[in-house]
C-alpha cells in the first residue's frame, strides 16, 4: 500500500479481539522500532513487551486505557544513552530520549498497520507507577505504550479521525 494511504487509513483502535499476534509479525514491528533514526544514532529507545497473563494483569493496574489488547509495547528511553543539548536556551538540558522513543513508536505503529495489526497510542498513565509496577531501572524512562492487536469484527474509526486541519494552518514557508 502507498504510505500516505496507509497513514490516512490508520486509526486508534479501541476494540481488539483476543487473537494473538504472530511472533514473526511482532518481530517485524520491533525491528521497525530498532532501525529508526535517533539523535547522533545513540539509539536510546527501549521496548518492554507486555503479553504474558501476569504482565497484562499488571498493565490493567497501571492504566485504565488497556483496551484488552493482546500485546502492549511499553516504549521507553535509557536516560544514560540520550543525546543532550546544553546550549538550547528554551529547553534547558534538552535530551533526545522522548523524541527518539516517539520516532520508534510511530514507526512501529505504521509497520503494524502494514501487517494488518491495529494499534493505539497510550499516554494515560503515571510514569513512576509504571516504572515501579514493572520494576524498571531508574535510568529507563517510560514515554508511551503502543497497544497492538487485531480489530474486533465491525470495528471502525471514530468520525473525528477523518477531521483534518487544512495544511495551510500547519505549514508556513519562512
pLDDT tens digit sequence for 152-173:
999 999 888 889 999 999 999 9
Per-residue pLDDT band for 132 (boundaries 50, 70, 90) equals very high
Predicted confidence (pLDDT) at residue 57 exceeds the cutoff of 90:
yes
pLDDT at 62: 97
1 pLDDT above the threshold of 80: no
Cell numbers for 30:
520491533
pLDDT of 149 > 90? The answer is yes
Buried b (16+ CB within 10 A) or exposed e, 109-133: bbbbbbbebbbbebeebeeeebbeb
Q: Apex CA 113: angle with CA 108 and CA 118, to 5°?
A: 95
Which of 66, 97, 73, 77 lies closest to 146 in space, CA to CA?
73
For the chain, domains (ranges, CATH) are 3-152 (3.40.109.10)
Look at residue 122 and tell me whether its pLDDT is greater than 90: yes
- pTM for this predicted structure: 0.94
84-85 vs 45-50, strand pairing mode: unpaired
CB atoms within 10 A of CB 26: 20
Cell numbers at 80, concatenated: 544514560
Kindly state the average pLDDT of the residues 103-129. Answer: 97
Bridge partners of 48, per DSSP, are 74
Cell numbers at residue 54, please? Answer: 501476569
- Rounded average pLDDT over 31-38: 98
**Cβ count within 10 A of residue 145:** 27
Per-residue model confidence as pLDDT tens digits over 93-106 = 889 999 999 999 99
pLDDT of residue 66: 94
Amino acid at each position: 500500500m502507498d504510505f500516505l494511504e496507509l497513514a490516512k487509513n490508520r486509526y486508534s483502535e479501541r476494540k481488539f479481539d483476543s487473537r494473538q499476534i504472530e511472533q514473526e509479525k511482532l518481530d517485524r514491528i520491533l525491528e521497525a522500532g530498532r532501525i529508526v533514526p535517533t539523535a547522533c544514532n545513540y539509539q536510546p529507545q527501549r521496548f518492554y513487551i507486555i503479553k504474558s497473563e501476569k504482565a497484562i494483569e499488571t498493565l490493567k493496574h497501571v492504566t485504565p486505557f488497556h483496551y484488552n489488547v493482546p500485546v502492549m509495547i511499553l516504549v521507553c528511553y535509557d536516560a544514560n544513552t540520550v543525546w543532550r543539548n546544553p546550549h538550547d536556551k528554551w529547553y534547558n538540558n534538552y535530551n533526545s530520549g522522548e523524541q527518539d522513543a516517539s520516532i520508534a513508536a510511530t514507526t512501529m505503529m505504521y509497520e503494524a498497520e502494514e501487517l494488518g495489526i491495529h494499534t493505539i497510542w497510550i499516554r494515560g498513565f503515571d510514569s513512576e507507577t509504571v516504572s515501579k509496577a514493572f520494576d524498571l531501572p531508574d535510568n529507563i524512562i517510560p514515554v508511551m505504550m503502543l497497544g497492538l492487536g487485531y480489530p474486533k469484527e465491525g470495528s471502525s474509526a471514530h468520525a473525528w479521525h477523518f477531521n483534518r486541519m487544512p495544511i495551510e494552518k500547519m505549514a508556513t514557508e519562512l
